[in-house]
Structure 1
Amino acid sequence: MILFIGTTLLAVAVYQEYDEILQSTKNEQQHQLHMFHDRLDALFREQELLQNVLANSYLNNTNFNNQTFDTLLGINPLLFGIVIVSKEGNLKFSSSAELRLPDLLQDKNTQQWFQETLNTDQMVIGKAYLLKSGHKWILPIRKKILDAKGNIVAVISTGLDLTMLQQMWDDLDNFHNTMQVTLDNGAFPILRSGLKIDEYAQHYNNSLPGKQLFGQHISQLKARSLAQKSAYLAPMIEHSEYSNTAKSIYSLSYNARYHFWTSAEIPYQFVVQNLYQQGFYYLVFYLLLIVTIFILFRWIANNEIKNIAELTYNAQHDELTGLVYTARYESFNSIAGMGEKPFTLLYLDLDNFKNINDTFGNRFGDLLLIKVAERIVKNVSPYKGTVSRYHGDEFVIFIESVDKIEINLFAKLLLENISQPYLIKRNHFKISASIGIACFPEHASDIETLLSYAGNSLFMAKKTKNQSQFFSKSEHHQLQRNIVIEQSLYQAVINQEITLVYQPQLDGNNKLFGVEALVRWHHKELGFIPPDVFIPIAENSGFMPQLGLYIMHKAMQEIALLKLQENLTFKLSINVSIRQFMKIDFIEKLISACNKYAIDKTDLNIEITESLFIESVDTLLPLFDKIKSNAISLSLDDFGTGYSSLSMLRKVPVDELKIDKSFVDHLTTNHADNVMVGIIINMGKALGMRIVAEGVEDKRQVTLLKKAGCDIFQGYYFSKPLALEELRIFAKKHCHSKTTKKVLAFAD
């Protein structure tokens, strides 16, 4: 490309130089022609003037003699001699007795032009010839002398010394042009620059071949010149054989007064030689330019290669840690060398790294990531492996080994090293990591699946943190099932696939006090899904507020209709999750649902779990107060298993305590549980709370609970969870005039 551009530039430059040389040569030739022509014209006018003087003297001086000739010869060195002849060509007067002329009417060198002189009033230039008597080449100039009546009385003939005239023109600088004067009459050259004397005869005794100048007949040239009404013809380049030259540049001019052609000719080779001369400098410049451009482009190319390499490196490496950056699966393939050797992929994620970023800022987190990366690289160095940064605080490690014992040991040592303290800006920090592990090709044969499996293992490891976990197909299938459940929950609510059952709660007289609504889901493909499976998934996915609202509306709608149809009165309890309870509009939606289904708020009980009190109690008190201000009861579910304390019970306006099933299960066999249940009942009673026991399975449990002072009983000993129509029948049998029921819509 560089060579093509350079060659093109050189060709353009050489052509421009050629055109400039050619045009300059033409212009200079034209100038030389004009000067040559004008000087000749002036010379011949001068000679004509002298001849006019002689003619007047001859006509008016009866004593005319040779003295007049001597005077004229003395003042005009070009004049070789002067003669006056009769119209028949006979000599009358001569400037020298030794000057002997040929018969002007008979001699072939004079006849044609002497006759022309007799036929014209203008001065006539004759053919040059060698005057033998004087051994001189002369250029004759003749003009006839007329008397007052117009009769020819004589002819004046002067002869110019051709050698002297030739020398005069050769002394001038013609700029390599060959100047020539050619008679129109006969096409004989009469003057040519650069001729030697011994070449005169060859040039002056012979007319031009075919009477052509540069390949054109002089008659055609004369017609063109007269048509242009100009004494000059513009210079042209012609392919001509004239003077045995193949090509020449010439200029022509025609003198209409004295009927002669003036031409200037220069070989075309002169232009070529000049072009070669100038072209040499262009060639040198071109070579220097090519070398310079080559060096420049080479420098640019090297810089570009360097920049591309740098950009490629930056694109493939993490700017922060310097590790290989693998944001795309193709990058993983290139690093792992898929399909070549078995290897193990370790997917590492720092535990609770977000807390450090949120607390100390991203810059601090970046410094920690750099140090973690250094430790990972140091641990990998004894193995054939590669470390890459994946996303944020996630790293992917490739080890060329599938020995699970070796990989397990490596992961254990890596976690130990990562969990060692870090010193950053004079602050000591500790952080742990979790690792998910998958092997190629044992677990997967493509990087996308392999990374997904390692991610699943990482998810399992992060449940306990600071652990490594190999991929397990059973756990993977469970995760897949959980994903299907999570994705199906939304449609299950829309399609009302989720239904409610109600478990009765009875008082000490075996009368119905309330019912707890338990949620059920029969999936079209997965079948029955227990609440303890899909409720945590809904919690983790953030769908629990929507699901809880659906359960709340459905429970209120069904129980309100049942109570209205059967004229029954009982409490309705609704269990609310942490996420649902903490929603800013929860109270408004609760009151709205009560109004919509005409639920008596005094018959409504909201159950909360102790896990709610992870949040600050002072933050929750305004919510509790709003519930209480609407005469809605609060129940603390699963008491004794969570975060509640005596201080918390004193602050929270709880109306009911529910003893967890785990205490009731071993009530008859475990003394400690028996004592604990008694303490819970006594404490609740002392605080004015109603006590409910969950999971009552046999009569002995009922007896002990009644003896301890328990108010309400719930469990399979009294009834299993009932469908709505089953509840209708049960309620009719166990209800009394002041019965209150409660419906809990959460989980078994």
Structure 2
Amino acid sequence: MAKLRQNIWFLFALLFLGSCVLLTFFLHQRWQLVLQEHSQQQHTQVQQLASSVQSLLSVQQVLADLYHDQLVQLVLAEQLDVEQGTRLLDHLMQNNRYATAYAVARTDGDLLMVSSNRSIEQLGNLRRYTMDHGEFERALASEKLELGRIYYIESLDAWTFPVRKSLRSDDGQAVAVMALGVSLKRELNAFVAPLLLPKKNNVALIRQQDGYYQFFAGEVSNLAERYETPIALSVLQQLQARLGENTGLNLQQLRLSEETHSVRLALPEGRVQAVIRYLPDYQLWAVSKLHSQVMQEAFWHSAWRYLLVYILSQLLLLFLVRTIAQADRSRRAELLFEATHDQLTALPNRNYLRQYKGTLLGSAASGCYLLFLDLDNFKTINDSFGHELGDTVLKEVSRRIKAQASNSAAIVRHGGDEFLIFLPATSEQAAMQLASELIKQLSSPYQVEKLRFVLGASIGIAHYPDHANQLDDLVRAADVAMYEAKKTKNNIYLYSKQLDAHYQRRFAIEQRLRTAIEQQHLFMVYQPQIDSKGQLYGVEALVRWQDPIDGFIPPDQFVPVAENSGQMPLLGQFILRQAFADISKIQQQLQQRFQLSLNISVRQLLHSDFLPQLDAQIQQHELVAEQLTLELTESILIEDHDHVCQLLGSIKQLGCKISMDDFGTGYSSLSMLRTLPVDELKIDKSFVDCMRDDETCRNMTASIIAIGQRMKLLTIAEGVEHSHERDLLLQMGCELYQGYFFARPMPAEQLIGYLQQQSADQSAEGANFNPGQ
């Protein structure tokens, strides 16, 4: 009990730490939100300030351009008309609500004319003005507006900055300078003030050339000192460094960018968050500065709610832990059962298998048998009628297994439709008998709602410790035996060492087959098909594998592996692509058309990409679809009949022929054959081999040929190796032949020679049917 409580309190400690992490996360998110909100407001301030400045100065530029020519005419006139100039400047004042006064000065700085609200004596020489700082000279050298340093005009009780623009003659020479004062008292302050935060927030314009403030709005103790003192060099260096870190841009690149940038700085008055933007037309930096204290206060104003929720949640968690501790033992038992048993059937699962393997295997002296049971055709039921019905079937299967097995047997649902039955201290005969009874019971019809169907089961058996000493090895051995039993369905197979060698061989083939196509270890050969007159009808494409390790691997070994391992679509793509390329090349080279037959597996045919790939390959290699025959085995008949008919109909629409391969050895019936769009019946080699000595076999072969004739289908016999087989088939009315008696399978290069030789022989000997020569 003490250990139980200790575990619960350890869980509480973890939850406490987790909640601390969660609280930290929420507080961090809240802090980021506060930063984002204030940063967004600062970005808005800077954008608004930049927009206001650009609007204000663009008005000055427009007015200066509008009156430029008139002012130049007055300046260049032989007799300066001061009264007319004053009237012109007063007119400018009336059109410019931002201006405090207008003046025009010669290039030496002496005033020529001023607006009527000022006198020449009051303003004096602009070039020698104490607040000029060389700005008059810059105005003379520039064709753009030049902003001067801000200064205080006591009579207006306002801070004003001068704006100067050179007046130039037609030849581009500066003949005078127009100057005006722009008051900040009404315009920018009124525009920016509503955007300011309640405290510790200011916006400013800073001159690029000397670092002085052009405009400042916000909390300040001495505004005059602020305007008369440039930004400290250390602050400028820190600002440049931080901007470089955040944006990756140097100072020159930042000037070219008109975007706003955010940066955090450590200033003498504390840490601040600044948002900055450069105005290249006027060489000004628009800046918004906000003290971190403001953001911290906004953060803590809302963070106390999170802290309150945190404290209450910890108290609630403490209460819950105390409650959980009282019911922990029963809950642990429930959890253990859920972890070690299948939820659907309530049978032990793989976790149980691992946890109690010692109990399941028993002692080495007595040993035990393991039955590996896999349902046959369950996937078809599950896919056709849905997983809900499949789950109902699995419940019934588990009930039948439990009813048949003894109380001492341990039944485990291994996964899907696989079950393991452990039989301790029993004999091989008893294990085989139980397996037979299980197959019998599981093969009985199932009735689910209104559906009635039959399943089967394949069982592999392995013995501990004879076949394996470890649980994983024992399960694998039984699995290998089960797969061997599954070849014939509803069967039982006892594990043997030879079977394991076969399994290892199959596994090795499966692994190497994955790279065989890419490494060009697979290749195609072609076996001629001859008609009853001895002339070439076509060829069948056959795939071969020359492995660098095992040498030649027969198709009957690697094709089934490809089917079972899901590699058949990829292998089928290679066969289509290579066969079409070879035959297209041969037909173009020899200018000779003939039929091409290809074996198509059920999995390949049912793959969703098969039809588009087939059509694309036909078009790509410029083949005639009517000269292509797709050979399908009779196993296709056990699939969904309507779906198969639809697929075969689509193939027929392309123009291809369909051949029923190995006819008479599988599932075919006349009724099924009647509904399928088949063009050809292929007689299996097993019938051809036994025709001479077996009357039943001979009669069956004759019946297949007769069926083909009545249904107007071509018949072709494969595996014809002797003349007597050819003669007997010819008498029965078989139309096409294929086998070693005529020609062995050959690569594409050799096929060219064969076709050329046959063409030459036919030309020399006519159409005599003498294929044995």
In structure 2, the gaps of 5 or more residues are 3-320, 764-773
Query: Which one-letter code corresponds to 2:512 in the other structure?
Result: S
Q: Distance in 2 between matches of 1:617 and 1:433?
A: 23
Q: Does 1:734 align with 2:725?
A: no
Q: Aligned to 1:713, which of 737, 752, 767?
A: 737
Q: Aligned to 2:590, which of 566, 584, 594?
A: 566
Query: Which one-letter code corresponds to 1:707 in the other structure?
Result: Q
Match of 2:553 in 1: 529
Q: Is the 8 A contact 2:368 2:464 kept in 1?
A: yes
Query: Which one-letter code corresponds to 2:406 in the other structure?
Result: V
SS in 1 for 2:692: coil
Match of 2:399 in 1: 371
Once the two structures are TM-superposed, the CA of residue 521 in structure 1 deviates from its matched residue by: 0.9
Query: Which one-letter code corresponds to 1:490 in the other structure?
Result: R
Query: Which one-letter code corresponds to 1:471 in the other structure?
Result: Y
Q: Structure 1 residues 328-337 or 510-519, which shifts more?
A: 328-337
Match of 1:677 in 2: 701
Match of 2:53 in 1: none
Q: Is the 8 A contact 2:721 2:740 kept in 1?
A: yes
Q: Aligned to 2:581, which of 557, 566, 584?
A: 557
Q: Aligned to 1:701, which of 722, 725, 728?
A: 725
Query: Which one-letter code corresponds to 1:669 in the other structure?
Result: D
Aligned length: 442
Match of 1:238 in 2: none
Q: Distance in 2 between matches of 1:307 and 1:664?
A: 70
Query: Which one-letter code corresponds to 1:482 in the other structure?
Result: R
Match of 2:249 in 1: none
- Provide, for residues 308-367 of structure 1, a one-character-per-residue CA deviation record: whole Å limited to 9, x for no partner: 344434444556665544426531434336776552142343634567764773663464
TM-score (norm. length: structure 2): 0.50
Q: 1:397 to 1:527 in 2, by over 3 A?
A: same
Q: Distance in 2 between matches of 1:617 and 1:426?
A: 21
Q: Does 1:380 align with 2:387?
A: no
Q: Aligned to 2:666, which of 632, 642, 653?
A: 642
Q: Is the 8 A contact 1:380 1:387 kept in 2?
A: no
Match of 2:511 in 1: 487
- Provide, for residues 553-600 of structure 1, a one-character-per-residue CA deviation record: whole Å limited to 9, x for no partner: 111111222232333332222222222223344333222212222223
Q: Is the 8 A contact 1:327 1:391 kept in 2?
A: no
Q: 1:369 to 1:733 in 2, by over 3 A?
A: closer
Larger Rg: 1
Q: Distance in 2 between matches of 1:676 and 1:618?
A: 29
SS in 1 for 2:726: helix
Q: 1:733 to 1:509 in 2, by over 3 A?
A: farther
Q: Does 1:600 align with 2:628?
A: no
Q: Is the 8 A contact 2:402 2:411 kept in 1?
A: no
Q: Distance in 2 between matches of 1:494 and 1:702?
A: 40
Q: Distance in 2 between matches of 1:380 and 1:557?
A: 61
Match of 1:349 in 2: 373
Q: Aligned to 1:633, which of 649, 653, 657?
A: 657
Q: 1:464 to 1:345 in 2, by over 3 A?
A: same
TM-score (norm. length: structure 1): 0.52
SS in 1 for 2:731: helix
Match of 1:540 in 2: 564
Q: Is the 8 A contact 2:371 2:422 kept in 1?
A: no
Q: 1:495 to 1:306 in 2, by over 3 A?
A: same
Query: Which one-letter code corresponds to 1:513 in the other structure?
Result: Y
Q: Distance in 2 between matches of 1:433 and 1:721?
A: 40
Once the two structures are TM-superposed, the CA of residue 650 in structure 1 deviates from its matched residue by: 4.5
Aligned ranges for residues 438-587 of structure 1 at < 5 Å? 438-587=462-611
Query: Which one-letter code corresponds to 1:701 in the other structure?
Result: E
Query: Which one-letter code corresponds to 2:723 in the other structure?
Result: K
Q: Distance in 1 between matches of 2:512 and 2:465?
A: 32
Q: Distance in 2 between matches of 1:405 and 1:307?
A: 43
RMSD of equivalent CA atoms? 3.9
SS in 1 for 2:540: strand
Q: Is the 8 A contact 1:658 1:694 kept in 2?
A: yes
Q: 1:691 to 1:336 in 2, by over 3 A?
A: closer
Match of 1:259 in 2: none
- Provide, for residues 274-333 of structure 1, a one-character-per-residue CA deviation record: whole Å limited to 9, x for no partner: xxxxxxxxxxxxxxxxxxxxxxx9998775444434443444455666554442653143
SS in 2 for 1:521: strand
- Provide, for residues 630-665 of structure 1, a one-character-per-residue CA deviation record: whole Å limited to 9, x for no partner: 443333322333344444554444433322222222
Aligned ranges for residues 147-166 of structure 1 at < 5 Å? none
Q: Aligned to 2:360, which of 333, 336, 339?
A: 336
Once the two structures are TM-superposed, the CA of residue 387 in structure 1 deviates from its matched residue by: 4.1
Q: Distance in 1 between matches of 2:447 and 2:615?
A: 54
Once the two structures are TM-superposed, the CA of residue 481 in structure 1 deviates from its matched residue by: 1.6
Match of 2:460 in 1: 436
Q: 1:677 to 1:557 in 2, by over 3 A?
A: same
Once the two structures are TM-superposed, the CA of residue 499 in structure 1 deviates from its matched residue by: 1.0
Match of 1:361 in 2: 389
Match of 1:589 in 2: 613
Q: Distance in 2 between matches of 1:693 and 1:631?
A: 23
Q: Is the 8 A contact 1:504 1:721 kept in 2?
A: yes
Q: Is the 8 A contact 2:630 2:658 kept in 1?
A: yes
In structure 1, the gaps of 5 or more residues are 3-296, 740-748
Once the two structures are TM-superposed, the CA of residue 737 in structure 1 deviates from its matched residue by: 11
Once the two structures are TM-superposed, the CA of residue 551 in structure 1 deviates from its matched residue by: 0.6
SS in 2 for 1:327: helix
- Provide, for residues 249-296 of structure 1, a one-character-per-residue CA deviation record: whole Å limited to 9, x for no partner: xxxxxxxxxxxxxxxxxxxxxxxxxxxxxxxxxxxxxxxxxxxxxxxx
Aligned ranges for residues 109-120 of structure 1 at < 5 Å? none
Once the two structures are TM-superposed, the CA of residue 702 in structure 1 deviates from its matched residue by: 1.9
Q: Is the 8 A contact 1:503 1:516 kept in 2?
A: yes
Q: Distance in 2 between matches of 1:567 and 1:530?
A: 33
Q: 1:511 to 1:316 in 2, by over 3 A?
A: closer
Q: Is the 8 A contact 2:369 2:431 kept in 1?
A: no
